[in-house]
Structure 1
Amino acid sequence: MDSGRVVVVFFFLLSFLCFAFSPVSSRKVSLALYYETLCPYCSDFITNNLVKIFDNGLISIVDLDLVPYGNARLGSNNSIICQHGPNECQLNNIEACAISAWPDVQEHFNFIHCIEHLVMELRYDEWKSCSQQTGLDSTSVLDCYNSGYGEKLELQYAAQTDALQPSHTYVPWVVVDAKPLYDDYRNFEKYICQAYDGEPPKACEGQALTISQETNANQGDQGLASHAKVSSQASCRHDNIVIGKNIIPIFSFSYEK
Protein backbone atom coordinates (compact mmCIF):
# COMPACT_ATOMS: atom_id res chain seq x y z
CA MET A 1 0.00 0.00 0.00
CA ASP A 2 1.51 3.35 -1.02
CA SER A 3 2.07 6.10 1.53
CA GLY A 4 -0.72 8.29 0.13
CA ARG A 5 -3.31 5.58 0.60
CA VAL A 6 -2.04 4.90 4.12
CA VAL A 7 -2.53 8.55 5.03
CA VAL A 8 -6.09 8.52 3.67
CA VAL A 9 -6.97 5.36 5.59
CA PHE A 10 -5.41 6.77 8.76
CA PHE A 11 -7.46 9.97 8.63
CA PHE A 12 -10.61 7.99 7.82
CA LEU A 13 -10.11 5.80 10.90
CA LEU A 14 -9.27 8.82 13.04
CA SER A 15 -12.43 10.63 11.93
CA PHE A 16 -14.53 7.52 12.60
CA LEU A 17 -13.12 7.11 16.10
CA CYS A 18 -13.65 10.78 16.93
CA PHE A 19 -17.27 10.53 15.80
CA ALA A 20 -17.91 7.22 17.54
CA PHE A 21 -16.55 8.32 20.91
CA SER A 22 -17.57 11.97 20.91
CA PRO A 23 -20.11 12.85 23.62
CA VAL A 24 -23.68 12.89 22.37
CA SER A 25 -25.63 15.98 23.40
CA SER A 26 -28.57 14.94 25.54
CA ARG A 27 -32.12 16.04 24.95
CA LYS A 28 -33.25 18.94 27.09
CA VAL A 29 -36.05 18.36 29.56
CA SER A 30 -39.32 20.05 28.67
CA LEU A 31 -40.67 22.31 31.43
CA ALA A 32 -43.96 24.13 30.89
CA LEU A 33 -45.60 26.56 33.28
CA TYR A 34 -49.28 27.33 32.74
CA TYR A 35 -50.11 30.42 34.77
CA GLU A 36 -52.00 33.69 34.95
CA THR A 37 -50.35 36.98 35.75
CA LEU A 38 -52.40 38.11 38.76
CA CYS A 39 -52.66 34.80 40.57
CA PRO A 40 -50.55 35.41 43.70
CA TYR A 41 -49.45 31.77 43.81
CA CYS A 42 -48.19 31.97 40.24
CA SER A 43 -46.31 35.16 41.03
CA ASP A 44 -44.78 33.55 44.09
CA PHE A 45 -43.71 30.47 42.13
CA ILE A 46 -42.10 32.54 39.36
CA THR A 47 -40.26 34.93 41.66
CA ASN A 48 -39.19 32.50 44.39
CA ASN A 49 -39.00 29.05 42.77
CA LEU A 50 -38.71 29.11 38.98
CA VAL A 51 -36.02 31.79 39.11
CA LYS A 52 -33.69 29.29 40.81
CA ILE A 53 -32.97 27.39 37.59
CA PHE A 54 -31.48 30.57 36.14
CA ASP A 55 -29.38 31.15 39.24
CA ASN A 56 -28.03 27.60 39.58
CA GLY A 57 -27.57 26.84 35.88
CA LEU A 58 -30.26 24.16 35.62
CA ILE A 59 -31.76 26.14 32.74
CA SER A 60 -28.94 24.70 30.58
CA ILE A 61 -30.77 21.35 30.42
CA VAL A 62 -34.29 22.79 30.29
CA ASP A 63 -36.55 23.83 27.43
CA LEU A 64 -38.80 26.30 29.27
CA ASP A 65 -42.24 27.19 27.93
CA LEU A 66 -44.19 29.93 29.72
CA VAL A 67 -47.93 30.01 28.96
CA PRO A 68 -49.67 33.11 30.41
CA TYR A 69 -53.35 32.19 30.14
CA GLY A 70 -54.26 30.11 33.19
CA ASN A 71 -57.90 29.82 34.21
CA ALA A 72 -59.18 32.28 31.63
CA ARG A 73 -62.06 31.16 29.42
CA LEU A 74 -63.38 32.07 26.01
CA GLY A 75 -66.57 34.09 25.72
CA SER A 76 -68.55 35.11 22.68
CA ASN A 77 -66.64 36.08 19.53
CA ASN A 78 -63.43 34.62 21.01
CA SER A 79 -63.33 37.25 23.73
CA ILE A 80 -61.24 36.20 26.73
CA ILE A 81 -62.56 36.40 30.29
CA CYS A 82 -59.80 36.26 32.89
CA GLN A 83 -60.10 34.96 36.43
CA HIS A 84 -58.89 38.17 38.06
CA GLY A 85 -60.57 40.62 35.73
CA PRO A 86 -59.65 42.79 32.73
CA ASN A 87 -56.30 43.91 34.12
CA GLU A 88 -55.16 40.31 34.24
CA CYS A 89 -56.12 39.91 30.58
CA GLN A 90 -54.10 43.00 29.75
CA LEU A 91 -51.08 41.82 31.69
CA ASN A 92 -51.37 38.32 30.19
CA ASN A 93 -51.18 40.03 26.79
CA ILE A 94 -48.14 42.04 27.83
CA GLU A 95 -46.26 38.95 28.99
CA ALA A 96 -47.30 37.04 25.86
CA CYS A 97 -45.93 39.92 23.80
CA ALA A 98 -42.69 39.86 25.81
CA ILE A 99 -42.22 36.16 25.03
CA SER A 100 -42.83 36.89 21.35
CA ALA A 101 -40.64 40.01 21.24
CA TRP A 102 -37.69 38.40 23.04
CA PRO A 103 -37.48 34.69 22.11
CA ASP A 104 -34.36 34.31 24.26
CA VAL A 105 -35.67 32.67 27.42
CA GLN A 106 -33.30 34.59 29.69
CA GLU A 107 -34.55 37.91 28.34
CA HIS A 108 -38.29 37.33 28.46
CA PHE A 109 -38.05 35.55 31.81
CA ASN A 110 -36.20 38.51 33.32
CA PHE A 111 -38.96 40.84 32.15
CA ILE A 112 -41.75 38.55 33.38
CA HIS A 113 -39.97 37.98 36.69
CA CYS A 114 -39.81 41.74 37.18
CA ILE A 115 -43.54 42.15 36.48
CA GLU A 116 -44.51 39.30 38.79
CA HIS A 117 -42.36 40.79 41.53
CA LEU A 118 -44.40 43.98 41.16
CA VAL A 119 -47.58 41.88 41.36
CA MET A 120 -46.39 40.51 44.69
CA GLU A 121 -46.00 44.09 45.90
CA LEU A 122 -49.39 45.16 44.44
CA ARG A 123 -47.55 47.59 42.15
CA TYR A 124 -48.13 45.88 38.82
CA ASP A 125 -49.44 49.11 37.31
CA GLU A 126 -45.74 50.09 37.24
CA TRP A 127 -44.87 47.22 34.87
CA LYS A 128 -43.23 49.54 32.33
CA SER A 129 -40.44 50.21 34.84
CA CYS A 130 -39.30 46.63 34.14
CA SER A 131 -37.95 47.81 30.80
CA GLN A 132 -35.41 50.00 32.58
CA GLN A 133 -34.70 47.42 35.28
CA THR A 134 -33.93 44.68 32.75
CA GLY A 135 -32.29 46.89 30.13
CA LEU A 136 -34.79 45.75 27.50
CA ASP A 137 -36.49 48.15 25.10
CA SER A 138 -40.23 47.57 25.54
CA THR A 139 -41.19 49.32 22.29
CA SER A 140 -41.75 46.00 20.53
CA VAL A 141 -43.90 44.79 23.44
CA LEU A 142 -46.05 47.92 23.32
CA ASP A 143 -46.37 47.64 19.54
CA CYS A 144 -47.44 44.02 19.94
CA TYR A 145 -50.07 44.93 22.53
CA ASN A 146 -51.42 48.04 20.78
CA SER A 147 -51.69 46.23 17.43
CA GLY A 148 -53.87 43.52 18.95
CA TYR A 149 -51.28 40.84 18.26
CA GLY A 150 -51.15 40.04 21.97
CA GLU A 151 -54.79 38.92 21.80
CA LYS A 152 -53.93 36.56 18.94
CA LEU A 153 -51.10 35.13 21.01
CA GLU A 154 -53.51 34.65 23.91
CA LEU A 155 -55.90 32.71 21.69
CA GLN A 156 -52.99 30.43 20.78
CA TYR A 157 -52.21 29.99 24.48
CA ALA A 158 -55.90 29.29 25.11
CA ALA A 159 -55.81 26.44 22.59
CA GLN A 160 -52.55 25.12 24.07
CA THR A 161 -53.98 25.21 27.60
CA ASP A 162 -57.30 23.64 26.62
CA ALA A 163 -55.43 20.80 24.88
CA LEU A 164 -53.70 19.71 28.09
CA GLN A 165 -54.11 16.01 28.93
CA PRO A 166 -55.03 15.68 31.68
CA SER A 167 -56.76 19.05 31.84
CA HIS A 168 -55.42 21.54 34.33
CA THR A 169 -57.59 22.23 37.38
CA TYR A 170 -55.64 25.11 38.88
CA VAL A 171 -52.58 27.28 38.39
CA PRO A 172 -49.65 27.27 38.66
CA TRP A 173 -49.79 24.08 36.59
CA VAL A 174 -46.28 22.71 36.08
CA VAL A 175 -45.55 20.02 33.48
CA VAL A 176 -42.24 18.17 33.08
CA ASP A 177 -41.86 16.11 29.90
CA ALA A 178 -45.64 16.16 29.36
CA LYS A 179 -46.38 14.94 32.90
CA PRO A 180 -48.13 17.32 35.32
CA LEU A 181 -46.63 17.59 38.79
CA TYR A 182 -49.91 18.52 40.45
CA ASP A 183 -49.34 19.77 44.02
CA ASP A 184 -45.70 18.69 44.01
CA TYR A 185 -44.86 21.48 41.57
CA ARG A 186 -42.47 23.24 43.95
CA ASN A 187 -40.19 20.19 43.68
CA PHE A 188 -39.97 20.63 39.91
CA GLU A 189 -36.15 20.71 39.96
CA LYS A 190 -36.03 17.13 41.24
CA TYR A 191 -38.28 15.96 38.41
CA ILE A 192 -36.08 17.75 35.87
CA CYS A 193 -32.95 16.07 37.20
CA GLN A 194 -34.66 12.69 37.23
CA ALA A 195 -35.86 13.12 33.62
CA TYR A 196 -32.50 14.26 32.22
CA ASP A 197 -30.65 11.40 30.51
CA GLY A 198 -27.27 13.10 30.21
CA GLU A 199 -24.49 13.93 32.64
CA PRO A 200 -26.37 15.75 35.41
CA PRO A 201 -25.24 19.32 36.07
CA LYS A 202 -23.97 20.34 39.47
CA ALA A 203 -27.39 21.82 40.28
CA CYS A 204 -28.77 18.27 40.38
CA GLU A 205 -26.54 17.27 43.28
CA GLY A 206 -28.69 16.45 46.27
CA GLN A 207 -31.83 16.52 44.12
CA ALA A 208 -32.70 12.85 44.58
CA LEU A 209 -36.43 12.56 44.03
CA THR A 210 -38.33 11.68 47.18
CA ILE A 211 -42.01 10.88 46.80
CA SER A 212 -44.49 11.33 49.61
CA GLN A 213 -46.72 8.48 50.75
CA GLU A 214 -49.62 9.80 48.70
CA THR A 215 -47.49 9.81 45.56
CA ASN A 216 -45.15 6.87 45.98
CA ALA A 217 -43.31 5.51 42.98
CA ASN A 218 -45.55 2.46 42.69
CA GLN A 219 -48.59 4.68 42.16
CA GLY A 220 -46.98 6.64 39.33
CA ASP A 221 -49.20 9.16 37.54
CA GLN A 222 -52.33 7.82 39.24
CA GLY A 223 -50.74 8.55 42.58
CA LEU A 224 -50.02 12.12 41.58
CA ALA A 225 -53.55 12.52 40.29
CA SER A 226 -54.94 11.15 43.55
CA HIS A 227 -52.77 13.58 45.47
CA ALA A 228 -54.19 16.43 43.38
CA LYS A 229 -57.68 15.69 44.70
CA VAL A 230 -56.54 16.89 48.11
CA SER A 231 -54.86 19.92 46.61
CA SER A 232 -53.23 22.46 48.87
CA GLN A 233 -54.46 26.02 49.00
CA ALA A 234 -51.37 27.30 47.16
CA SER A 235 -53.14 27.61 43.83
CA CYS A 236 -55.76 29.58 41.93
CA ARG A 237 -58.47 27.07 41.13
CA HIS A 238 -61.08 26.80 38.39
CA ASP A 239 -63.85 26.52 40.97
CA ASN A 240 -62.82 29.73 42.70
CA ILE A 241 -63.32 32.37 40.03
CA VAL A 242 -62.74 35.72 41.64
CA ILE A 243 -62.92 38.92 39.67
CA GLY A 244 -60.74 41.77 40.77
CA LYS A 245 -60.88 43.23 44.23
CA ASN A 246 -61.55 40.10 46.25
CA ILE A 247 -57.97 38.93 45.77
CA ILE A 248 -55.88 41.72 44.29
CA PRO A 249 -56.83 45.39 43.92
CA ILE A 250 -57.29 46.48 40.32
CA PHE A 251 -55.18 49.32 38.97
CA SER A 252 -55.65 51.17 35.72
CA PHE A 253 -53.08 50.54 33.00
CA SER A 254 -51.44 52.96 30.63
CA TYR A 255 -49.96 51.64 27.39
CA GLU A 256 -48.89 54.82 25.65
CA LYS A 257 -45.31 54.90 24.43
Structure 2
Amino acid sequence: MASHLVITLSLISYLILFTSPSSSASRIILPSDSQKVSVGLYYESLCPYSANFIINYLDKLFETDLISIVDLKLVPWGNAKLRGNNTFDCQHGPYECLLNTVEACAIDVWPDLSEHFPFINCVETLIYEHKYPQWESCFEKLGLDPNPISDCYSSGHGKELELQYAAETNTLQPPHEYVPWVVVDGEPLYEDYENFLSYICKAYKGTAVSTACSKVSVNTVSGKAKVIHPDCYETRVLALAARIKSAITRWMGQKNMVASM
Protein backbone atom coordinates (compact mmCIF):
# COMPACT_ATOMS: atom_id res chain seq x y z
CA MET A 1 0.00 0.00 0.00
CA ALA A 2 1.51 3.26 -1.12
CA SER A 3 1.67 5.87 1.56
CA HIS A 4 0.50 9.43 1.11
CA LEU A 5 4.14 10.52 1.43
CA VAL A 6 5.20 8.37 -1.52
CA ILE A 7 2.36 9.74 -3.61
CA THR A 8 3.21 13.32 -2.70
CA LEU A 9 6.86 12.78 -3.63
CA SER A 10 5.80 11.09 -6.87
CA LEU A 11 3.69 14.07 -7.80
CA ILE A 12 6.50 16.49 -7.00
CA SER A 13 8.94 14.39 -9.02
CA TYR A 14 6.51 14.35 -11.92
CA LEU A 15 6.17 18.15 -11.89
CA ILE A 16 9.93 18.62 -11.74
CA LEU A 17 10.52 16.08 -14.48
CA PHE A 18 8.20 17.69 -16.98
CA THR A 19 8.70 21.36 -16.14
CA SER A 20 12.46 21.64 -15.67
CA PRO A 21 13.94 23.37 -18.73
CA SER A 22 17.29 21.65 -18.17
CA SER A 23 15.77 18.18 -18.20
CA SER A 24 15.85 16.12 -21.37
CA ALA A 25 12.31 15.10 -20.47
CA SER A 26 11.24 18.70 -21.09
CA ARG A 27 11.60 17.98 -24.80
CA ILE A 28 8.89 15.32 -24.61
CA ILE A 29 5.70 16.50 -26.26
CA LEU A 30 2.99 16.21 -23.64
CA PRO A 31 -0.58 15.44 -24.72
CA SER A 32 -3.01 18.32 -25.03
CA ASP A 33 -6.14 18.35 -22.88
CA SER A 34 -8.18 17.18 -25.88
CA GLN A 35 -5.94 14.12 -26.26
CA LYS A 36 -6.07 13.07 -22.64
CA VAL A 37 -8.22 10.17 -21.50
CA SER A 38 -10.94 11.29 -19.09
CA VAL A 39 -11.27 9.14 -15.98
CA GLY A 40 -14.07 9.71 -13.50
CA LEU A 41 -14.24 8.05 -10.09
CA TYR A 42 -17.67 8.18 -8.47
CA TYR A 43 -17.29 7.05 -4.88
CA GLU A 44 -18.22 7.61 -1.25
CA SER A 45 -15.70 8.19 1.50
CA LEU A 46 -16.56 5.40 3.95
CA CYS A 47 -17.10 2.65 1.42
CA PRO A 48 -14.15 0.31 2.14
CA TYR A 49 -14.00 -0.74 -1.51
CA SER A 50 -13.75 2.89 -2.63
CA ALA A 51 -10.91 3.40 -0.15
CA ASN A 52 -9.18 0.25 -1.36
CA PHE A 53 -9.42 1.37 -4.98
CA ILE A 54 -8.08 4.85 -4.26
CA ILE A 55 -5.05 3.81 -2.21
CA ASN A 56 -4.14 0.50 -3.85
CA TYR A 57 -5.10 1.04 -7.51
CA LEU A 58 -5.74 4.67 -8.42
CA ASP A 59 -2.43 5.83 -6.96
CA LYS A 60 -0.64 3.75 -9.63
CA LEU A 61 -1.35 6.62 -11.99
CA PHE A 62 1.13 8.69 -10.01
CA GLU A 63 3.77 5.98 -9.76
CA THR A 64 4.16 5.94 -13.58
CA ASP A 65 3.95 8.41 -16.45
CA LEU A 66 0.28 7.52 -17.03
CA ILE A 67 -0.88 10.60 -15.15
CA SER A 68 0.44 12.70 -18.06
CA ILE A 69 -2.21 11.28 -20.42
CA VAL A 70 -5.12 11.26 -17.95
CA ASP A 71 -7.66 13.87 -16.94
CA LEU A 72 -8.77 12.51 -13.55
CA LYS A 73 -11.89 13.69 -11.75
CA LEU A 74 -13.01 12.57 -8.29
CA VAL A 75 -16.70 12.79 -7.37
CA PRO A 76 -17.36 12.09 -3.65
CA TRP A 77 -21.10 11.41 -3.51
CA GLY A 78 -21.72 7.74 -4.29
CA ASN A 79 -24.94 6.17 -3.01
CA ALA A 80 -26.07 9.17 -0.96
CA LYS A 81 -29.77 10.03 -1.28
CA LEU A 82 -31.34 13.46 -1.69
CA ARG A 83 -34.19 14.43 0.64
CA GLY A 84 -36.33 17.55 0.70
CA ASN A 85 -34.98 21.07 1.25
CA ASN A 86 -31.58 20.24 -0.27
CA THR A 87 -30.70 17.79 2.47
CA PHE A 88 -29.29 14.33 2.00
CA ASP A 89 -28.48 11.04 3.72
CA CYS A 90 -25.32 9.03 3.14
CA GLN A 91 -25.15 5.26 2.89
CA HIS A 92 -22.76 4.90 5.82
CA GLY A 93 -24.29 7.60 8.00
CA PRO A 94 -23.55 11.21 9.03
CA TYR A 95 -19.78 10.68 9.33
CA GLU A 96 -19.67 9.73 5.65
CA CYS A 97 -21.59 12.91 4.79
CA LEU A 98 -18.98 14.84 6.75
CA LEU A 99 -16.01 13.25 4.97
CA ASN A 100 -17.67 13.38 1.53
CA THR A 101 -18.11 17.10 2.06
CA VAL A 102 -14.58 17.56 3.41
CA GLU A 103 -13.16 15.83 0.34
CA ALA A 104 -15.40 17.93 -1.94
CA CYS A 105 -14.03 21.03 -0.19
CA ALA A 106 -10.46 19.79 -0.69
CA ILE A 107 -11.07 19.47 -4.44
CA ASP A 108 -12.53 22.99 -4.51
CA VAL A 109 -9.92 24.63 -2.26
CA TRP A 110 -6.98 22.89 -3.95
CA PRO A 111 -8.20 22.36 -7.55
CA ASP A 112 -4.82 21.08 -8.73
CA LEU A 113 -4.83 17.28 -8.68
CA SER A 114 -1.32 17.26 -7.24
CA GLU A 115 -2.67 19.11 -4.19
CA HIS A 116 -6.05 17.54 -3.42
CA PHE A 117 -5.27 13.92 -4.30
CA PRO A 118 -2.61 13.44 -1.56
CA PHE A 119 -5.08 14.75 1.02
CA ILE A 120 -7.91 12.51 -0.17
CA ASN A 121 -5.51 9.59 -0.36
CA CYS A 122 -4.43 10.25 3.23
CA VAL A 123 -8.03 10.37 4.48
CA GLU A 124 -8.96 7.22 2.57
CA THR A 125 -5.89 5.43 3.94
CA LEU A 126 -7.12 6.11 7.47
CA ILE A 127 -10.56 4.84 6.46
CA TYR A 128 -9.01 1.69 5.03
CA GLU A 129 -7.15 1.20 8.31
CA HIS A 130 -10.34 1.82 10.34
CA LYS A 131 -8.86 5.01 11.77
CA TYR A 132 -11.10 7.54 10.04
CA PRO A 133 -11.82 9.58 13.21
CA GLN A 134 -8.17 10.66 12.90
CA TRP A 135 -8.74 12.22 9.45
CA GLU A 136 -7.75 15.72 10.62
CA SER A 137 -4.20 14.43 11.19
CA CYS A 138 -3.79 14.55 7.39
CA PHE A 139 -3.44 18.34 7.56
CA GLU A 140 -0.35 18.06 9.74
CA LYS A 141 1.07 15.07 7.85
CA LEU A 142 0.91 16.95 4.55
CA GLY A 143 1.70 20.42 5.93
CA LEU A 144 -1.70 21.80 4.89
CA ASP A 145 -3.68 24.66 6.41
CA PRO A 146 -6.99 23.26 7.72
CA ASN A 147 -8.73 26.65 7.83
CA PRO A 148 -9.85 26.80 4.16
CA ILE A 149 -11.46 23.36 4.51
CA SER A 150 -13.10 24.33 7.80
CA ASP A 151 -14.42 27.55 6.25
CA CYS A 152 -15.72 25.69 3.20
CA TYR A 153 -17.59 23.21 5.40
CA SER A 154 -18.97 25.61 8.01
CA SER A 155 -20.08 28.23 5.47
CA GLY A 156 -22.33 25.79 3.66
CA HIS A 157 -20.25 25.94 0.49
CA GLY A 158 -19.28 22.30 0.97
CA LYS A 159 -22.95 21.34 1.00
CA GLU A 160 -23.45 23.22 -2.27
CA LEU A 161 -20.53 21.31 -3.78
CA GLU A 162 -22.06 18.02 -2.65
CA LEU A 163 -25.40 18.92 -4.25
CA GLN A 164 -23.54 19.61 -7.49
CA TYR A 165 -21.86 16.20 -7.24
CA ALA A 166 -25.26 14.66 -6.53
CA ALA A 167 -26.65 16.14 -9.75
CA GLU A 168 -23.63 14.95 -11.72
CA THR A 169 -23.82 11.43 -10.27
CA ASN A 170 -27.57 11.14 -10.75
CA THR A 171 -27.34 12.08 -14.42
CA LEU A 172 -24.80 9.39 -15.29
CA GLN A 173 -25.79 7.33 -18.34
CA PRO A 174 -25.99 4.49 -17.76
CA PRO A 175 -26.82 5.19 -14.10
CA HIS A 176 -24.25 4.07 -11.56
CA GLU A 177 -25.21 0.84 -9.81
CA TYR A 178 -22.67 0.78 -6.97
CA VAL A 179 -19.38 2.32 -5.90
CA PRO A 180 -16.61 2.59 -6.77
CA TRP A 181 -17.97 3.43 -10.22
CA VAL A 182 -15.16 4.11 -12.68
CA VAL A 183 -15.80 5.75 -16.05
CA VAL A 184 -13.16 5.98 -18.80
CA ASP A 185 -13.95 8.33 -21.70
CA GLY A 186 -17.64 8.15 -20.81
CA GLU A 187 -17.80 4.36 -20.61
CA PRO A 188 -18.35 2.65 -17.22
CA LEU A 189 -16.04 -0.25 -16.41
CA TYR A 190 -18.56 -2.04 -14.18
CA GLU A 191 -16.92 -4.82 -12.11
CA ASP A 192 -13.71 -4.59 -14.13
CA TYR A 193 -12.77 -1.25 -12.55
CA GLU A 194 -9.55 -2.59 -11.00
CA ASN A 195 -8.32 -3.12 -14.57
CA PHE A 196 -8.76 0.59 -15.35
CA LEU A 197 -5.15 1.08 -16.49
CA SER A 198 -5.74 -1.21 -19.47
CA TYR A 199 -8.79 0.80 -20.49
CA ILE A 200 -6.80 4.04 -20.30
CA CYS A 201 -4.06 2.67 -22.52
CA LYS A 202 -6.59 1.35 -25.02
CA ALA A 203 -8.54 4.63 -25.09
CA TYR A 204 -5.52 6.92 -25.55
CA LYS A 205 -5.21 8.13 -29.15
CA GLY A 206 -2.51 10.76 -28.70
CA THR A 207 1.11 10.71 -29.79
CA ALA A 208 2.80 10.95 -26.38
CA VAL A 209 3.00 7.21 -25.86
CA SER A 210 3.15 6.22 -22.19
CA THR A 211 5.96 3.83 -21.32
CA ALA A 212 3.73 2.44 -18.59
CA CYS A 213 1.26 1.22 -21.22
CA SER A 214 3.91 -1.11 -22.61
CA LYS A 215 3.76 -2.96 -19.29
CA VAL A 216 -0.05 -3.11 -19.18
CA SER A 217 -1.90 -5.87 -20.99
CA VAL A 218 -4.75 -4.45 -23.05
CA ASN A 219 -5.90 -7.91 -24.06
CA THR A 220 -7.90 -8.18 -20.85
CA VAL A 221 -10.26 -5.46 -22.09
CA SER A 222 -13.30 -7.02 -23.69
CA GLY A 223 -17.05 -7.00 -23.72
CA LYS A 224 -17.22 -10.38 -22.03
CA ALA A 225 -18.41 -11.02 -18.51
CA LYS A 226 -16.21 -9.36 -15.91
CA VAL A 227 -14.81 -10.75 -12.69
CA ILE A 228 -17.05 -9.52 -9.88
CA HIS A 229 -15.25 -7.46 -7.24
CA PRO A 230 -16.67 -6.30 -3.91
CA ASP A 231 -18.45 -2.97 -3.96
CA CYS A 232 -20.88 -0.87 -1.92
CA TYR A 233 -23.95 -2.22 -3.61
CA GLU A 234 -27.10 -0.67 -2.21
CA THR A 235 -28.10 0.81 -5.58
CA ARG A 236 -26.78 -2.28 -7.35
CA VAL A 237 -29.40 -4.41 -5.58
CA LEU A 238 -32.14 -1.99 -6.60
CA ALA A 239 -30.94 -1.96 -10.19
CA LEU A 240 -30.83 -5.76 -10.26
CA ALA A 241 -34.35 -5.96 -8.84
CA ALA A 242 -35.55 -3.55 -11.53
CA ARG A 243 -33.93 -5.66 -14.26
CA ILE A 244 -35.49 -8.85 -12.86
CA LYS A 245 -38.92 -7.20 -12.72
CA SER A 246 -38.52 -5.97 -16.29
CA ALA A 247 -37.49 -9.44 -17.48
CA ILE A 248 -40.46 -11.07 -15.75
CA THR A 249 -42.87 -8.50 -17.20
CA ARG A 250 -41.45 -9.03 -20.68
CA TRP A 251 -41.68 -12.82 -20.30
CA MET A 252 -45.29 -12.63 -19.06
CA GLY A 253 -46.17 -10.39 -21.99
CA GLN A 254 -44.69 -12.85 -24.46
CA LYS A 255 -46.51 -15.73 -22.73
CA ASN A 256 -49.86 -13.93 -22.93
CA MET A 257 -49.27 -13.07 -26.58
CA VAL A 258 -48.64 -16.73 -27.43
CA ALA A 259 -51.70 -17.83 -25.48
CA SER A 260 -53.92 -15.42 -27.39
CA MET A 261 -52.79 -16.75 -30.78
| Counterpart residue number, 2:199 | 191
- Between the aligned partners of 1:239 and 1:58, the Cα distance in structure 2 is 31
Q: Which amino acid aligns with 1:69?
A: W
Q: Does 1:72 align with 2:94?
A: no
Cα distance, 1:233–1:202 mapped onto 2, change above 3 Å: closer
The CA deviation at 1:24 is 8.6
Correspondence for 1:234 among 222, 230, 237: 230
| Counterpart residue number, 2:93 | 85
The CA deviation at 1:202 is 1.1
The CA deviation at 1:208 is 2.9
Query: What TM-score results when the alignment is normalised by the length of structure 2?
Result: 0.75
The CA deviation at 1:125 is 1.1
- Between the aligned partners of 1:106 and 1:78, the Cα distance in structure 2 is 31
Structure 1 runs, 4 residues or longer, greater than 2 Å off? 23-26, 238-241
- Between the aligned partners of 1:24 and 1:153, the Cα distance in structure 2 is 31
Query: What TM-score results when the alignment is normalised by the length of structure 1?
Result: 0.76
- Between the aligned partners of 1:211 and 1:104, the Cα distance in structure 2 is 32
Contact 1:99–1:108 (8 Å) recurs in 2: yes
- Between the aligned partners of 1:235 and 1:51, the Cα distance in structure 2 is 19
- Between the aligned partners of 2:49 and 2:187, the Cα distance in structure 1 is 20
1:131-164, CA deviations, whole angstroms, 9 ceiling, x for partnerless residues?
A: 1111221211111001111100000000000010
Q: Which amino acid aligns with 1:238?
A: E
- Between the aligned partners of 2:202 and 2:100, the Cα distance in structure 1 is 31
The CA deviation at 1:204 is 0.9
The CA deviation at 1:120 is 1.0
| Counterpart residue number, 1:202 | 211
- Between the aligned partners of 1:207 and 1:240, the Cα distance in structure 2 is 29
Q: Secondary structure at the match of 2:111?
A: coil
- Higher mean C-alpha displacement, 192-201 vs 179-188: 192-201
- Between the aligned partners of 1:172 and 1:146, the Cα distance in structure 2 is 27
Gaps of 5+ in 2: 1-28, 238-261
% identical aligned pairs? 53
Q: Which amino acid aligns with 2:218?
A: L
The CA deviation at 1:239 is 4.4
- Between the aligned partners of 1:161 and 1:87, the Cα distance in structure 2 is 20
| Counterpart residue number, 1:156 | 164
| Counterpart residue number, 1:94 | 102
Q: Does 1:181 align with 2:189?
A: yes
- Between the aligned partners of 2:30 and 2:100, the Cα distance in structure 1 is 38
- Between the aligned partners of 2:108 and 2:30, the Cα distance in structure 1 is 31
Q: Which amino acid aligns with 1:96?
A: A
- Between the aligned partners of 2:107 and 2:46, the Cα distance in structure 1 is 17
The CA deviation at 1:210 is 2.1
The CA deviation at 1:42 is 0.2
> Over alpha carbons, which structure has the higher Rg?
1
Q: Which amino acid aligns with 1:147?
A: S
Q: Does 1:104 align with 2:100?
A: no
- Between the aligned partners of 1:25 and 1:43, the Cα distance in structure 2 is 29
Structure with more helix by fraction: 2
When the two chains are superposed, the root-mean-square deviation of aligned CA atoms in Å is 2.0
* TM alignment of 1:90-169, pairs within 5 A: 90-169=98-177
| Counterpart residue number, 2:7 | none
The CA deviation at 1:77 is 1.2
Q: Does 1:38 align with 2:34?
A: no
- Between the aligned partners of 1:24 and 1:131, the Cα distance in structure 2 is 32
Gaps of 5+ in 1: 1-22, 242-257
Q: Which amino acid aligns with 1:137?
A: D
